[in-house]
Amino acid sequence: MDLINNRIIQDYVNKVCAQVKFRDVHPDVKLELEAHIQEIIEEHLAQGFSEKEAAEKAVVQMGDADMVGKQLNKVHKPKPEWSILLISLLFINTGLLSLYFIQKQSLLSHNIPIFERSLLFSLISFIIMIGFYFFSYKKLERYSKHIYLGTLALLTYTVLFGIQYNGSSSWLTLGSLSLNVVAVSPILFIIALAGIFHKWDWDNTFNFLQGVALCAVPLILMLGAPSISSSVIYAVASMVLMVASGAKLKRLLFISVPFIAMIILSVFTVPYRIDRLLIFLNPGSDPHGSGYINTQLNKIIEDAGLFGQGLTFAPQGLPDLHTDFIFSFITYTFGWIAGILLIALTVLFLVRIARITRIVKNNYAKLLISGFVSILTVEFLWNILMNLGLAPISGIGLPFISYGGSQLIINAVIVGMISSIFKRRNVSQNCQ
């Protein structure tokens, strides 16, 4: 029986959907209702009723449209993933508190109102989170190629003509605003590649090589900036994305070898990076020179104690305290209890995000979550291990907590999009 053109059935389905306020699930609700009605109609047809009689009896058997609609509205009522949002806000407030004490104690060599600026960016980030929660992430899918090409063009321009800072052409200035384009680009490329790869045929050799090339070109540009931290973050996330989108695990080695080779080559062709790696392996070889920061970090962590040393941090004792080494400040000031709690919240945060890949129905959403959790995992892990002396020092901040407007806004976009995905977790692949 043609249910689409049956007025009785469609009137009933439309009345039910009118009670379901979350419009994104209407196509799924209609398919579900029509499937149930079809089963009932077939039973009545087998009993000898006409199509019209079978349809009328099926509608009566389904129940009152308003009541069914209200019940479905409760089932499909969108709810945020509160744990992810609350932990994100807790991270942001931890960062604000830490930056307030850093500024109050004048622990930096330069007089910048880091607390006031961070407060402003935190408010902006909160608005962005809310905005992306209500924004349908699936609208980005159709613009995936445009996002990729636009980001590629912006990154190329930045590498060639951007502002040099610490030996890297990573920044662009737009009036009074500065944007770390290289640090922002990994998330933009992951959003683009998730849309490109979600229907990709990795079994085709040409497609496989083309997919690897799409991932490799941005990596080459990031290494050309150069920015090792952004390159590693992007390389890990893009490889996870390839595997999650269907590239076979046995080809993972083929995928990873050129990526790893490019990163290693960029490290061992620059003398100061070799020195930094050697100092990481043996910081005691030059404690007052190249190994000064490593030595200071070890001392800070050793002196922290279980309950911390309070507001006794030595002024200007560590450069970039508000960005790269804020975890050490938190641990020293508030003790290992705070440090361990922060690590535990980080693990919980990442696990809760990764869990969403198991419950969403849309493959594009699964790829986005896989990319997001990869980026955040590398950032959290590298920064914490770096502060503990277990990873080489690099310019990578602690997500949500370290000072930096560009990075905080990007992390807010990630959380907002994750919230948007969770809100639409029950929307199937066919509902575009």
Q: Where are the domains of the chain?
A: 7-75, 82-423
For residues 407 and 401, what is the distance between their CA atoms, to the nearest angstrom?
Answer: 10
Name 184's Cβ contacts closer than 8 Å, sequence gap at least 6.
406, 410
Q: Span 259-270, mean pLDDT?
A: 75
Mean pLDDT computed over 116-141: 92
Q: For position 284, what pLDDT does the model report? A: 66
Q: What is the pLDDT of residue 4?
A: 58
Give the phi and the psi of residue 103 in degrees, each rounded to 5.
-70, -40
* Higher local confidence (pLDDT), 239 or 279: 239
- For residue 174, which phi and psi values (nearest 5 degrees)? -120, 90
Please tell me the distance from the alpha carbon of residue 275 to that of residue 411, in angstroms, as a whole number.
32
**pLDDT score of 285:** 65
Q: Is the pLDDT of residue 421 over 80?
A: yes
pLDDT-based confidence at residue 210 (cuts at 50, 70, 90): very high
Q: Which pLDDT belongs to residue 251?
A: 76
- Whether pLDDT at 250 is above 70: yes
Task: Please give the pLDDT value at position 58.
Answer: 85
CA atoms of 210 and 137, how far apart (whole Å): 25
* pLDDT at 286 > cutoff 70: no
User: Stretch 322-333: mean pLDDT, rounded?
Assistant: 93
Longest CA pairwise span in the chain (Å): 94
- CB burial string 60-74: b at 16+ within 10 A, e below: eebeebeebbeebbe
| Residue 429: predicted pLDDT | 59
Percent of the chain with pLDDT over 70: 93
Q: Measure the N-to-C terminal CA separation of the chain; round to a whole number of Å.
A: 26
Predicted confidence (pLDDT) per residue in 361-412, tens digit: 889 999 999 999 999 999 999 999 999 988 888 888 999 999 988 889 999 9
Over range 317-336, report the average pLDDT: 90
Mean pLDDT score, 106-124? 89
pLDDT digits (tens, 9 = 90+) for 15-62: 888 888 887 788 888 888 888 888 888 888 888 888 888 888 888 888
State the pTM of this model. Answer: 0.86
pLDDT at residue number 3: 60
115 Cβ contact partners less than 8 Å away, ≥ 6 residues apart: 96, 99, 100, 103
400: left (phi over 0), alpha (psi -120 to 50) or beta: left
Average predicted confidence (pLDDT) for the chain: 87
Query: Which residues partner with 26 through β-bridges?
Result: none
